[in-house]
Amino acid sequence: VIYDLLIKNGFICTSSDIYPADIGISNGKIAVIAANIDSEFSKEVIDAEGGVITPGGVDAHVHVDEPLKLMGDVIDTMGTATRSAVAGGTTTVIAFASQDVNLKGPKALSESVNKTIEFCQKEPLYCDYGLHLILALVEETDNACNVLDKQLSSLYKDQGVSSVKFFMTYPGLQMSDYSILNIMYATRKSGITTMVHAENGDIVRWMTESLENQGLIEPYYHGVSRPTIVEGEATNRAITLSIMMNTPVLFVHVSSPEAVEAIRRAQTMGIKVFAETCPQYLILSQADTKCHYGHNNWFEGAKNVCSPPLREDQTKECLWRAMDNGTFTIVSSDHCSYLYSSKYRGKHNAFDQGKSGKFRYIPNGMPGVCARMPLDFHYGYLKENISSLMKFVEVHCTNPAKLYGCYPQKGAILPGSSDADLLIWYPIEDKRGHTKINNRMMYHSCDYTPYEGLEVKNWPRYTLSWKC
């Protein structure tokens, strides 16, 4: 016996190839790939029955509970988020630590991240994880870029955190262009990846006030307050700032055709611009923020309030095309789960103290770490919105691992290098893979899934996750 596990009769699909082969696994690593490995060389054997085998999913945009709670009281912890991830075929998640603005000194950012690591490790985790850092405050002084550069360099050295996110919207988090230049100067110098949430926060504020003054407060108007040009403008501006600083940037959760166009143009000019989109923008639409699900509750659309908001139905085609033509580098879930019961009556409720259910008080975000892989396998690959299964693997597994520094340990199936994080899918046309999504199968802590009732024609039959 040589191998701990042997997978036979599958088609290996990576970001570059698809071919029939057997896989031998030892000590949680891919040990060998070869034709017809004899079963007697392994302690255990799985028959893939002609199904495809892909790397486990890498979800590079997941919000979990953490000490600073910049995103509010999301209900999933690292424990329950990794459980939910594995239930849907994602075997690595990259979540967020937040900057503690009360900490000062040269290691303040490292200390912020340390607190989050300690917090996340209090409970059992179901798969490997990484962290980005959310920047909450960057002083508007001319020395701030040098201070930040030193902090980011030690953050990378001490904790291996190689990416930061900043916001161009959200009260209390919105960065001025001046601060953005300071961030970009520092991230370029320290070699840190810069993630941008691009929406023009001033337009959002003006529109929110105007809509409220007209009595237009329902969840649907959240989307009206931040139309696609709001994202397009901020994307253009951030690209301009990144050109000034010669800093590569990654636009997270891109949902707007104007933003896609700006990103594509910049990429064509040879500027290092990367972009992420999410299943909710590819599959749902602004109609899902209206009262539906057969309920008669005008607030129900609050379940699908996120930023950027869900868009018109026609936008989906533009986003799928951008995935297929390489404009989008990665697809992540932006999992950010608030209990609907809490949005309605509990901690995050939008009704207490004269709030009257106004959309501005609904916390932004929806759960999705579990459903990302099966949803996009079905709506992307099986429905031919993308042209190959290799493209699916590239943007859901391989590219996020490359972008955030965990390739080829993650996102690949390479003997001697890759962890044996693998998905064995049902053979195409095999009815056993047909699944109607419901909230129980998400294995998260949230009390709803935005994808309730959707039917997909495949679901990972086996998810192998070997934790480091």
- Binding Zn ion (rule: CB under 5 A), the pick from 334, 376, 394, 421 is 334
Site string for ligand URP, 161-200 (x = CB under 6 A): ------------------------------------x---
Q: What is the number of the residue whose Cβ is closest to Zn ion?
A: 197
Considering only residues 351 to 390 of the shown chain, the ones binding ligand URP according to CB under 6 A are 364-365
Find the shortest distance in angstroms from Cβ 4 to ligand URP. 38
- Binding ligand URP (rule: CB under 6 A), the pick from 48, 53, 58, 63 is 63
CB nearer to ligand URP: give 63 or 378.
63
| Residue 197 interacting with Zn ion (CB under 5 A) | yes
Which does residue 12 bind out of Zn ion, ligand URP, none, counting CB within 5 to 8 angstroms by kind? none
Which does residue 372 bind out of Zn ion, ligand URP, none, counting CB within 5 to 8 angstroms by kind? none
By C-alpha distance, which of 408, 415, 425, 417 is closest to 463?
Answer: 425
CB nearer to Zn ion: give 65 or 334.
334
CB nearer to ligand URP: give 28 or 72.
72
By C-alpha distance, which of 28, 17, 36 is closest to 7?
Answer: 36
- Partners of 18 in the β-ladder: 13
Find the shortest distance in angstroms from Cβ 66 to ligand URP. 13
CA distances from 246 to 184, 249, 260, 327, 336 (A): 8, 10, 20, 20, 31
| Residue 275 interacting with ligand URP (CB under 6 A) | no
- Residue type at position 329: T
- What is the spatial distance between Cα 89 and Cα 140, in angstroms, rounded to a whole number? 43
CA diameter of the chain: 74
Could you tell me the two tokens for 38? 């004899």
- What is the spatial distance between Cα 142 and Cα 404, in angstroms, rounded to a whole number? 29
Which does residue 48 bind out of ligand URP, Zn ion, none, counting CB within 5 to 8 angstroms by kind? none
Which does residue 222 bind out of ligand URP, Zn ion, none, counting CB within 5 to 8 angstroms by kind? none
Site string for ligand URP, 327-346 (x = CB under 6 A): -------x-x----------
Find the shortest distance in angstroms from Cβ 246 to ligand URP. 26
Which does residue 306 bind out of ligand URP, Zn ion, none, counting CB within 5 to 8 angstroms by kind? ligand URP
DSSP alpha helix (H) spans, 215-298? 220-224, 228-245, 257-268, 279-283
- What is the spatial distance between Cα 421 and Cα 465, in angstroms, rounded to a whole number? 5
Find the shortest distance in angstroms from Cβ 115 to ligand URP. 20
Find the shortest distance in angstroms from Cβ 294 to Zn ion. 29
- What is the spatial distance between Cα 195 and Cα 309, in angstroms, rounded to a whole number? 18
Rg of the chain (C-alpha set): 22
CB nearer to Zn ion: give 8 or 335.
335
Q: What do you get for the CA distance between the two ends of the chain, in Å? A: 24
Q: Are 343 and 315 in contact (CB under 8 A)?
A: no
Please spell the DSSP secondary structure of 419-468, one letter per residue: B--EEEEPPTT-GGG-EE--GGGG-SS-S--TTTT-EES--EEEEE----
Burial 192-228 (b: 16+ CB within 10 A, else e): bbbbbbbbbbebbeebbeebbeeeebbbbbbbbbbbb
Which does residue 14 bind out of ligand URP, Zn ion, none, counting CB within 5 to 8 angstroms by kind? none
Chain position carrying tokens 């690591």: 117
Find the shortest distance in angstroms from Cβ 222 to ligand URP. 10
| Residue 335 interacting with Zn ion (CB under 5 A) | no
Number of residues that bind ligand URP (CB under 6 A): 10
| Residue 66 interacting with ligand URP (CB under 6 A) | no
Q: Which residues bind Zn ion (CB under 5 A)?
A: 197, 334
Binding site for ligand URP (CB under 6 A): 63, 71, 197, 253, 306-307, 334, 336, 364-365
